[in-house]
Amino acid sequence: MKAVTSVALASALVVLVGGARAQEKAGDPTGTWTWTVERGGEKRDVTLKLAAAGGKLTGTVSTGKGDETKIEDGTFKDGEVGFAITRERNGEKFTSKYTGKLAGNTIKGNYQTTVGGKEQKRDWEAKRAK
């Protein structure tokens, strides 16, 4: 009986691990992602936490200064991620729209932000946190 139970547990573990690997190969963006930005000579580490379900993304973005912001309009289709974040600085709200392509443990793309009527476009590349 113990042998049967051991085989059943081992089989279940193989199925769970195999399922997780299949999701990763299929390009599941669920997880924690990090990258560094530099503005005015100051570097900031950015953390993006994503959850994907049914082509929709939910999650948060933070820079470690107690500024966790929920993502808006999150989408995931055919390896492409898209989302927006709205923040406020000096009494002015601005929205940054992110797009990127998922490739293994990297998301690479760009984002656009309009601040003070001026549009800024920058690249971003996030790595999946281990």
* Whether the Cβ atoms of residue 56 and residue 76 lie closer than 8 Å to each other: yes
Encoding tokens for residue 106? 């990297």
**Domain boundaries in the chain?**
2-128
Pick the CATH number of 2-128 from 3.40.50.1110, 2.40.128.30, 3.30.310.220, 3.40.50.720: 2.40.128.30
Instruction: Give 51's contacts (C-beta < 8 A, 6+ positions apart).
Output: 30, 57, 58, 59
pLDDT per position as a tens digit, 42-95: 899 999 999 999 889 999 999 877 789 999 999 999 999 999 999 888 888 889
| pLDDT at residue 99 greater than cutoff 60 | yes
pLDDT per position as a tens digit, 4-18: 545 444 444 444 444
